Amino acid sequence: MSELTYRIKHRTSYEYSGRIDLCHSLLHLRPCEKKGQNVVEHKIHISPSPGFQSVRKDYFGNTTQYFSIQQSHGRLEVTSFVTVTKQEVTPEIPDSRITLDNEAQLSEMANGFESGIPLLNFLEPSCACPNIEQLDTFLKPTIISKHEIIEIAHDLMSRIFTDFTYLPGATQVSTPLIDVLAKKHGVCQDFAHVMIAALRRIGIPARYVSGYLETVPPPGQEKLQGADATHAWVEAYTPKTGWVGFDPTNDQIPGHQHIKICHGRDYFDVQPLRGVFLGAGSQKLLVEVDVERV
């Protein structure tokens, strides 16, 4: 089994039209440590320099960093530098041996725990993954033809890839799920939310994964610096398999090219950078991500 090394640079900058006097922010930028993924080094540079910083684990076990800037500033820049090793393996689709008609096992999952966290967190509706009737129309072709839980998740992943159009700029982080279902276009976070909401509606625990994806340029072309982006995919749970990943944007079981940062109920639990500031004027956001195989 070979090992791959990735270097990741993730820069986020805010340009303000006025002066900002106070800023409180929370970061989800450190990749998780898990089987097949190891963080060799992680550094974060923040400008201007924060007056206070702290690192802790959030409710879901993700590493988070809080900082506050208590001086007047017109620009904020946060750059994350990460070196990660990944085991190069061929992803496999396990058999959960649990079907939708096994009410006892579905009830066990609904009342169970995983790593000390109630699985109910990943079954209840969340801000970006509401429990809406429009999901039934989307679910119907799958649940008619499939019965085993992992098989259902795999089919939903493939159907989202086939039926929905990847269209950057067509949605915002605030676009309701019902609009994404109706228009059938969006980006990776939209597709992850559709799949999560559908799985939860039929009693399958599902969570949102934030991370990076190594992109490979076409033959003969150089990779553009800053052209990568953060990525999102889904993990579904059964007691037999544990958490199993699905990438509906690419119709893939996540492998060594998927570098996981963290997970939560939906995007709003794991935003790379979020916060509040005190000041006046508008803001301009710029995000650049480079994922390089060493």
The domain limits of the chain are: 3-88+271-293, 103-269
E strand or H helix at 185 = strand 185-186
pLDDT digits (tens, 9 = 90+) for 121-172: 999 999 999 999 999 999 999 999 888 999 999 999 999 999 999 999 899 9
Mean pLDDT of 37-47: 97
Instruction: Provide the CATH number for the domain formed by 103-269 in this structure.
Output: 3.10.620.30
Q: What residues contact residue 22 under an 8 Å CB cut-off, 6+ apart?
A: 68, 69, 70, 277, 278, 279
Q: Residue 133's pLDDT is what?
A: 95
Q: What residues contact residue 49 under an 8 Å CB cut-off, 6+ apart?
A: 69
* Alpha helices (H) in the chain, listed in sequence order: 103-110, 134-145, 149-163, 177-183, 188-201
What does the mean pLDDT of the chain come to?
Answer: 92
- Pairing mode of beta strands 63-69, 165-166: unpaired
For the chain, report the end-to-end CA distance as a whole number of angstroms: 17
Quick one: tokens of 33? 């440590």
Q: Residue 161's pLDDT is what?
A: 96
Half-sphere CA count of 231, side-chain side, radius 13 A: 22
Q: Residue 227's pLDDT is what?
A: 56
Distance CA 25, CA 45 (A): 14
In the predicted structure, residue 220 carries a pLDDT above the cut 80: no
Answer for the pair 156, 199: CB distance below 8 angstroms, yes or no.
yes
Mean pLDDT of 216-243: 80
Three-state SS at 217: coil
Q: Residue 224's pLDDT is what?
A: 54
Topology at the third CATH level for domain 3-88+271-293: Immunoglobulin-like (2.60.40)
Q: Residue 139's pLDDT is what?
A: 96
Measured CA to CA in angstroms, residue 146 lies from 149, 177, 209, 240, 263 at distances of 8, 24, 24, 18, 27
- Local confidence band at 226 (pLDDT 50, 70, 90 cut-offs): very low
Its pTM surpasses 0.85: yes
Q: Can you say whether the dihedral through the CA atoms of 165, 169, 174, 176 is positive or negative? A: negative
Of 55-69, 114-128, 224-238, the range with the lowest mean pLDDT is 224-238
Q: What residues contact residue 80 under an 8 Å CB cut-off, 6+ apart?
A: 8, 9, 10, 11, 27, 29, 30, 42, 43, 44
Q: Residue 85's pLDDT is what?
A: 97
Of 27-36, 78-87, 103-112, the range with the lowest mean pLDDT is 103-112
